[in-house]
Amino acid sequence: MLIIAHRGASGEAPENTLAAFDLAWRQQADGIELDVRLSRDGRVMVHHDPTTKRLTGTDLSIADSTSDALRQLDFGIWKGPEFAGQRMPVLDEVLAAAPPGKQVVIEIKCGPEIIPALSQVLNNPA
């Protein structure tokens, strides 16, 4: 049996952020589940919803925004002041921070256009 932290330790930290994933690892999760979408500039972004509105109050479409624009938003403050400044991660940085032997379950939340970029990230780890 495995314990997989859904969107990281999202009950205690802002979902799909490095803070949530780090907390999941510290809580001894066997793995994390995360969601990915493709940004306008072809980056594999870790985010569940098609827009940023629910978590930031700013309504940007992931598919229509650049990774730089998306990473300007604060994805942590809604969960508490201790999480202020959490940014939308790119998949590369989440994978680089995963401890050896741990699992990362990737749920694709967009269409097949993400496959080339996702393959690039998975086949060329940082």
The CA distance from 13 to 23, in Å, is: 8
Task: Please give the backbone phi and psi of residue 114, each rounded to the nearest 5 degrees, phi first.
Answer: -80, -20
The CA distance from 6 to 8, in Å, is: 5
Q: Nearest Cα to 46, choosing from 125, 121, 123?
A: 121
Supply the pLDDT for residue 102: 98
* pLDDT single digits (tens) 69-103: 999 999 999 999 999 999 999 999 999 999 999 99
| CATH code of the domain covering residue 66 | 3.20.20.190
Supply the pLDDT for residue 60: 99
- List CB contacts of 117: < 8 A, sequence separation 6 or more: 38, 42, 43, 44
6 is catalytic: yes
CB burial class (10 A; 0-12, 13-18, 19+) of residue 124? exposed
Supply the pLDDT for residue 66: 99
Q: Which residue range(s) make up the domain with 9? A: 4-123
The pLDDT of residue 125 is above 80: no
47 is catalytic: no
pLDDT band at 126 (very low <50, low <70, confident <90, very high): low
- List CB contacts of 45: < 8 A, sequence separation 6 or more: 36, 37, 38, 39, 62, 67, 70, 88, 89, 90, 91
* pLDDT single digits (tens) 9-49: 999 999 999 999 999 999 999 999 999 999 999 999 999 99
- List CB contacts of 53: < 8 A, sequence separation 6 or more: 59, 60
Supply the pLDDT for residue 117: 98
Q: Which residue in the list 12, 31, 48, 61 is annotated as catalytic?
A: 48
Q: How many domains does the chain have?
A: 1
Q: Which residue in the list 5, 6, 19, 39 is annotated as catalytic?
A: 6
pLDDT band at 54 (very low <50, low <70, confident <90, very high): very high
pLDDT band at 61 (very low <50, low <70, confident <90, very high): very high
